[in-house]
Structure 1
């Protein structure tokens, strides 16, 4: 099913058409096979970079697309519709670019962003640790001043592209151990730095083509020019990046839910019982109607948040709302899609069981949905309701 879009420029329309062409010709045909084999589609990110789709929300002077976030997110949604591992990978890569693009020096932007946005380099975002997931301020990975640079020791956990990335956007403690959120700094660390290694990939219930692994830092030495932004101000950088990253996850969730809805609607028209297509039965037809409504509502919520971001207005609360609604919707819609398929939906002969397994992680990454509710409630308390 082709979703009607409200696009304000011919260029944006062309970008969506190009994305759909790549999805239909290159992603959808190989997604099930590569997921089954746990194959990481690194080549796809090169194709996306070469097509100008990997740096859409970033400045054109550094190789980006100069596109509003509203357009970028719709591209992410389309990619996730075809293959969630790719849509999520683009969202995470964009997240890893944000600190350099928004807080880096002119020298850092000129030196790093062209390869990051052009697809030559794939990034990872190193914030979480085994004992400090949602409580990021409790991190223990440390970067100590040594001469004219830093020495890093510690470990990060649950890192998308861990062990496969070309660079890591790292958040590490530079202040005292009890300095909380005030003693954290941001660094750009090349994957080839001596002492940097990765743990074995996690064995997950879904998203097998998206590698997730711990990243280990054992006396990793980096120069002072690897510091992004001011020392001790990294926590603010991390939070600013996560607000945008949550919108990326919301777009991924809508794309996955749309794929499940499309599959369920198509099957309901083909499958016949008691002499009629099963979609003609009110019980199933109402289920499909609810699924379509939830997908459409989730899409409009992430787009509304993106418009606030594009206008330079606060959007943190709306980003949390969009992530919460869209990922809960993805879980509900993919589960209902399995139900529409009946016994066939529980087999790997059809894609909906994979969609259902993949949807679960979206309620966890970029802050669990319980954390999103906490973020929203705190905004409401500050606003006086």
Structure 2
């Protein structure tokens, strides 16, 4: 029997068993087909909602399970078990980056209109921040919303948006002053409709997810769809980044653990030169190093998670977790592919896809370079 690792309790481990069983039964068998089709069906969200998995951390009054970030963290780790980084990314974008701002900063009307159906899997959300000319430099966004009678008229583009094709609503960061920047940016909830168009992007990995460029052309957004205070959206974006980055770290830890388990099993079964691969010191030592890397990433991530759920503002710890886990995850997948040899380079093996999927980690949600810049500031360097 394995004991729960703090900050998790037996309740969380029971939830883990339930989530893992559901994902392996209902989603994992379809992963290869969804990757080949470069799309997973929208009814995946309804299936997850039927299990209560789209509202683990949300209050029961909105249809959630009344849990907290620790319950959500279990889901973040277990999504790797689907076997499709794109499917995990689409689900994660909905529950971890699109709906949290509405829960934390939205009005009661906005929660009823967007959060409630999102938890039921009836509306799918996306977060629109990155632009063709402004990725990591959030203060330089160009998409703008001009005041109009009863609201705003929005023009501009967003790109690299997960769920960008399928999303029913996009939580969108826009300039609401001529200068924009730290005190001229706002969040608007934009419904898909007239003037909103999406162009799907072709990617190295995450094939099952719909990543898109979204164009807004004279889109009217009613004043009721202003999320949070006017011109203070930059602060909300930064606040939202903390959980997004922590969720990415948790996802990487889950993916690393699964990849190690599968590769170790392969090394025990595959024979070369008269014995299992794991019987060769070079392979055995490599697997030992990968196990140590996985454990170190889990420790750093769980420490940041403990601080986060305790109500601290662990910017340094979350940033370290994101920086360490994403690069380590990619390196581990590359090492696992190497252990598989030529088979690892074939599409029929899971590790080929896992290596491609892991490459986004050091870029998305704040690149490695931005993480180091944040750490430099928090460490007074």
The two structures have a TM-score, normalised by structure 1, of: 0.94
Paired residue for 2:216? 217
Paired residue for 2:152? 150
CA–CA distance in 1 between the matches of 2:202 and 2:62?
A: 37
Paired residue for 1:203? 202
The alignment partner of 2:308 has SS state of: helix
Q: Is the 8 A contact 1:73 1:251 kept in 2?
A: yes
Paired residue for 1:293? 292
**1:254–1:81 distance in 2 versus 1, CA, 3 Å:** farther
Give the number of aligned pairs: 378
CA–CA distance in 2 between the matches of 1:312 and 1:368?
A: 25
Paired residue for 1:264? 263
CA–CA distance in 2 between the matches of 1:41 and 1:264?
A: 30
Q: Is the 8 A contact 1:80 1:86 kept in 2?
A: no
The alignment partner of 1:170 has SS state of: strand
Paired residue for 2:336? 337
Q: Is the 8 A contact 2:128 2:171 kept in 1?
A: yes
Q: Is the 8 A contact 1:7 1:13 kept in 2?
A: no
- Listed as ranges, the matches of 1:309-324 within 5 Å are 309-324=308-323
Per-residue displacement from partner, 1:120-158 (whole Å, max 9, x unpaired)? Answer: 111100000011000011011011110111110001011
**1:334–1:135 distance in 2 versus 1, CA, 3 Å:** same
**1:313–1:227 distance in 2 versus 1, CA, 3 Å:** same
Per-residue deviation at 1:11? 4.3
The alignment partner of 1:158 has SS state of: strand
CA–CA distance in 2 between the matches of 1:334 and 1:51?
A: 30
1:135 equivalenced with 2:137 (yes/no) = yes
- Listed as ranges, the matches of 1:32-51 within 5 Å are 32-51=32-51
Per-residue deviation at 1:117? 1.8
Per-residue deviation at 1:74? 2.1
Per-residue deviation at 1:185? 0.4
**1:123–1:211 distance in 2 versus 1, CA, 3 Å:** same
Paired residue for 1:360? 359
**1:134–1:3 distance in 2 versus 1, CA, 3 Å:** farther
- Listed as ranges, the matches of 1:1-385 within 5 Å are 5-6=5-6, 11-82=11-82, 83-94=84-95, 95-176=97-178, 178-191=179-192, 193-199=193-199, 201-381=200-380
CA root-mean-square deviation: 1.7
Q: Is the 8 A contact 2:333 2:358 kept in 1?
A: yes
CA–CA distance in 2 between the matches of 1:248 and 1:7?
A: 15
CA–CA distance in 2 between the matches of 1:285 and 1:27?
A: 32
Gaps of 5+ in 1: none
Q: Is the 8 A contact 1:317 1:376 kept in 2?
A: yes
The alignment partner of 2:343 has SS state of: helix
Per-residue displacement from partner, 1:323-369 (whole Å, max 9, x unpaired)? Answer: 11111111111000011111111111211111111100111111111
The alignment partner of 1:289 has SS state of: helix
Per-residue deviation at 1:7? 6.7
Q: Is the 8 A contact 1:144 1:150 kept in 2?
A: yes
Q: Is the 8 A contact 1:250 1:322 kept in 2?
A: yes
The alignment partner of 2:186 has SS state of: strand
CA–CA distance in 2 between the matches of 1:81 and 1:301?
A: 22
The two structures have a TM-score, normalised by structure 2, of: 0.95
CA–CA distance in 2 between the matches of 1:126 and 1:135?
A: 14
**1:376–1:3 distance in 2 versus 1, CA, 3 Å:** farther
Per-residue displacement from partner, 1:224-277 (whole Å, max 9, x unpaired)? Answer: 000011110101111111111011111222222223212211110101112211
